[in-house]
Chain A
Amino acid sequence: MGWESWVISTFARALAYGTPLLLGTLGEIFAERSGVLNLGIEGMMIMGAYSAFVVTYTTGHPWLGILVAAVVGGAFSLIHAFATVTLKANQVVSGLALTMLGLGLSGVLGRSWVGLPLFTTLRNVTVPGLSAIPIIGPGLFTRQNLLVYITMLLVPILWYILFHTRIGITIRAVGEDPAAADSLGVNVDRVRYLCVVVGGVFAGIAGAYLSVAYRPAWTEGMTGGMGWIVIALTIFAFWNPVYGLLGSYLFAALYHLSYRLQTWVSPELLKAMPYVFAIIILIFVSRGTLQKRMGSPAALGVPYTRGEE
C-alpha cells in the first residue's frame, strides 16, 4: 500500500482515538489551571461511558446519552470539588478514591448491560467539499462522527477563553497565586468548583464517546486506563488546549501505528514509545527559558485556605 494510505489511516485513526483523550485533556486543563489536581478522571470517564450507554440504549438518542454522561461526570467531580476545595483534603487521595469509586460503581451497575448491542450510535459524517482535498480530505474529513469535529472546534474556543478573556485570566490567577486573587476580590473557591466541574463534564463526555461512538457497547472497565493517559497529556500539553490537541492526536497516531507497524517492530516497544516520547519531549523543552513560560500552575495541588500561608 502506498504511503498515502499510511498518512490517511494515521490521520483518521488519530482523530478517532484521540478525541476522547482530547476531551478529557481539555477538561483537566481547566481543572488544573485553577490549581486542583483531579486524578479521578478515569472514574468520571467510565461513569460517563456507562450512563451514556444506558441512556442511549433505552431511549435511542445518542446525543441524549452524551448529555446525561456530561451531567453524571460533572456530578461525580462535584464530590472531588467538595472534598478538595471545601474540605481542603489531599487532592491526590481524593482523586484516587474517586477513580476507585467510579470503576467499582460502573462495574456493579453495568452488570446487566454487558453484551447488548447498540445500533443507535453517533453516525459518521463526511464534511462536504473538504473531504475532496487529496490526502488530507480522506484523512481528516471523511467518516468521523460529529463529536470529533465539535471537539476540534472547541480547542480554539477554549484556548481563547483561557488566555484572552477575563474569566480565563481569573482562572489562571487562582491557579498561580490564590492569595493574590483572593485579595483582589476573586472567589477562589467558586472558581475552583467551576473548573473541577468543567473537568468532570468533559471527562463524562469523553467516556460517552467511547461507549456510544467509538465502540458502541458496554464492557466493564472499557476506558482501559485512558484517564491516566489524559492526566499525562495535560501536563504534556503544558496546560494549553492547543498543545493538548497536538498531544492527543500524536498519542493516538502512535497507538494506531503500533498495530500497523507490528510486522517490523516489537509491539511492546511501540506501545511504550508514547510514554518515552512524553518524557523526552519534556526534557527537551525544559532546558532553558521555555520552562518558565510553560510551567505548571504554581498552586497546583495545594488546597487554599484563606488566612493561611
Chain B
Amino acid sequence: MAIFFAAYGVSPARAYGAILHGALGNWRGFSETLRRMIPLLLCGVGLTVAFRAQFWNIGADGQLLFGAMAATWVALFSGLQGPLVIPVMFLAGFVAGALWGLIPAVLKVKMGINDVITTLMMNYIAMYVALFLIHGPWKGPSVRGYPLTDIFPPAARIPTIGDTHVHWPTLVLGLVLAIVAYIMLNRTRSGFEIKVVGENPHAARFAGMSELKTVVIAMLISGGLAGLAGVGEVAGVQLRLLDPNQISMGYGYTAIIVAWLARKNPLGVIITAFFFGVLMAGGDVIKVNLGLPFQLINVFNGVIMFFLIGSEIFMRYRIALRRA
C-alpha cells in the first residue's frame, strides 16, 4: 500500500496520518466518520443476525432502498404531519425492509433456492423500483424534470448535530439495537434457535425447531434493520429520494465485511462499523487534501481486507493450538 502512496509523491506516513487526522482529529472529520458509521452499524447488526442463521443476506442494499422508499412515501405522500412523522417513517422503513428480506428467506427454506442469488437479484429489482418511482409517479413538481422527489418537509427531516450530516437519532437507534440484538442472540430462545439452526441444522430439526420460523425471524430483523438505515440516509442525509446508488452507496455490501469482521457479534459491529467509518471518511480526506486519486481508497480498503483476512487465520490457529 505504501508503494501506491509513494507513487503519487506522498509519503505513506503522511497519507495514513491524513486519514487518521482527517477522520478523527477534528470534529468536522469525526462527524463524517459517524455519519458513515450509521448505516454500516444498522446493516451490520442486521447481517450478524442473518449470518448466525447461516443465511447469506447479500441484499442489504435492496432492503435499505425499500426502507428509504417507505420513508419517502410517509414524508411526501401520506399526508402525515407533525412530530409523528419521524417515528412513523422509521416504523414504515423497518416493515418495508423486513418484508423485502422475507421473500428470499421463504424461498430458501420452502424451496431450497440459493440465498445468495435471491438476495442479489432483489437488490437489482429494488433499484429499478426506486428508479421507476423517481422517474415517474414520484418525480417532484419542483425539480424541473430531474429524476428526484421533492425535498422532504421539515417535519420529516431527522435532526442532525449542528450543521453536520450526523443524524443522531438514527445513530442512537443503531447503538440501542446492537445491544438488543446481542441480548436477543444470547439470552432469548429465538436467538438460541437462530444459532442452532445456523450452526447445526440437523440438531435443530431433531430438537423440533422450525427452520422456517427461525430463518424468517432472522431475515425480518436483518431486512428491517437495513430498512432503518435507508430511512436514515433518505431522511437524515439526502432529504429526498434520488438515484438509488447515491442512497445506498454500497453500504449493504460493505456491511457484509463489517459484520464478518465483528465475528457475527452485534456488539462488535459497533467497533467495526466505526472502523469502516474512519476508512470511508479518511478516503474523502485523501481525495480532497492530498489530491490522490479517489480510487486509491478502494485499493486501500481491499488491501486492508486481505490483511485482516490473513491475520484472522493466525488468530484462529493460535486458539486451536492452545486448545490442543
User: A contacts B directly in the complex (CB < 8 Å)?
Assistant: yes
Interface residues of A (CB under 8 A from B): 37, 79, 83, 87-90, 92-94, 96-98, 100-108, 111, 220, 228, 231-232, 235-236, 266, 268-269, 271-272, 275-276, 278-279, 282-283, 286-287, 291, 295-296, 301
Q: Is the CB of A282 within 8 A of B305?
A: no
- Complex Cα distance, B303 from A286, in Å, reads 39
Q: Is the CB of A107 within 8 A of B293?
A: yes
- From A92, A228, A287, B256 is in contact (CB under 8 Å) with A92
- From B135, B293, B303, B313, A88 is in contact (CB under 8 Å) with B313
Q: Show 20 A/B contacts (Cβ-Cβ < 8 Å), sorted by A.
A: A87-B313, A88-B313, A97-B305, A100-B305, A101-B299, A101-B303, A107-B294, A107-B295, A107-B298, A268-B129, A272-B124, A272-B125, A272-B129, A275-B122, A278-B121, A279-B118, A282-B111, A283-B107, A283-B111, A301-B56
Q: Is the CB of B114 within 8 A of A94?
A: no
**Contacts A90-B309, A231-B120; A296 near B107 (Cβ below 8 A):** no
Q: Is B206 an interface residue (CB 8 A)?
A: no
Q: With a CB–CB cut-off of 8 A, which chain B residues contact A235?
A: 114, 116-117
Q: With a CB–CB cut-off of 8 A, which chain A residues contact B301?
A: 97, 100-101, 104
- Complex Cα distance, B14 from A191, in Å, reads 44
Q: Is the CB of B132 within 8 A of A286?
A: no
- From A102, A103, A111, A286, B293 is in contact (CB under 8 Å) with A111
Q: Is the CB of A96 within 8 A of B303?
A: no
- From B56, B121, B260, B293, A275 is in contact (CB under 8 Å) with B121
Q: Give the Cβ gap from A270 to chain B, nearest Cβ, in Å.
A: 9
- Complex Cα distance, B132 from A235, in Å, reads 27
Q: Is B296 an interface residue (CB 8 A)?
A: yes
Q: Give the Cβ gap from B36 to chain A, nearest Cβ, in Å.
A: 15
Given contacts A93-B305, A98-B302, 12 further A-B contacts (CB under 8 A): A83-B310, A96-B257, A97-B309, A104-B302, A108-B295, A111-B293, A235-B117, A268-B132, A279-B121, A291-B112, A295-B112, A301-B56
**Contacts A88-B313, A97-B257, A276-B125; A268 near B131 (Cβ below 8 A):** yes
- Complex Cα distance, B131 from A34, in Å, reads 38
Most chain B beta-carbon contacts within 10 A, residue among A96, A100, A108? A100
- Complex Cα distance, B312 from A272, in Å, reads 39
Q: Is the CB of A231 within 8 A of B302?
A: no
Interface residues of B in 276-324 (CB under 8 A from A): 293-303, 305-306, 309-310, 312-313
Chain B 135-146, CB within 8 Å of chain A: the 1/0 string? Answer: 110000000000
Q: Is the CB of B257 within 8 A of A286?
A: no
Q: Is the CB of A291 within 8 A of B257?
A: no
Q: Is the CB of B253 within 8 A of A103?
A: no
Interface residues of B (CB under 8 A from A): 4, 56, 58, 107, 111-114, 116-118, 120-122, 124-125, 128-129, 131-132, 135-136, 253, 256-257, 260, 293-303, 305-306, 309-310, 312-313
Q: With a CB–CB cut-off of 8 A, which chain A residues contact B132?
A: 266, 268-269
- Complex Cα distance, B120 from A272, in Å, reads 12
- Complex Cα distance, B300 from A268, in Å, reads 35
Q: With a CB–CB cut-off of 8 A, which chain A residues contact B120?
A: 228, 231-232
Q: With a CB–CB cut-off of 8 A, which chain A residues contact B117?
A: 231-232, 235-236, 278, 282
- Complex Cα distance, B287 from A104, in Å, reads 13
- Complex Cα distance, B116 from A96, in Å, reads 13
- From A83, A105, A282, A286, B299 is in contact (CB under 8 Å) with A105
Q: Is the CB of A96 within 8 A of B128?
A: no
- Complex Cα distance, B299 from A102, in Å, reads 7
- Complex Cα distance, B111 from A203, in Å, reads 30
- Complex Cα distance, B131 from A266, in Å, reads 11
Q: Give the Cβ gap from B102 to chain A, nearest Cβ, in Å.
A: 14
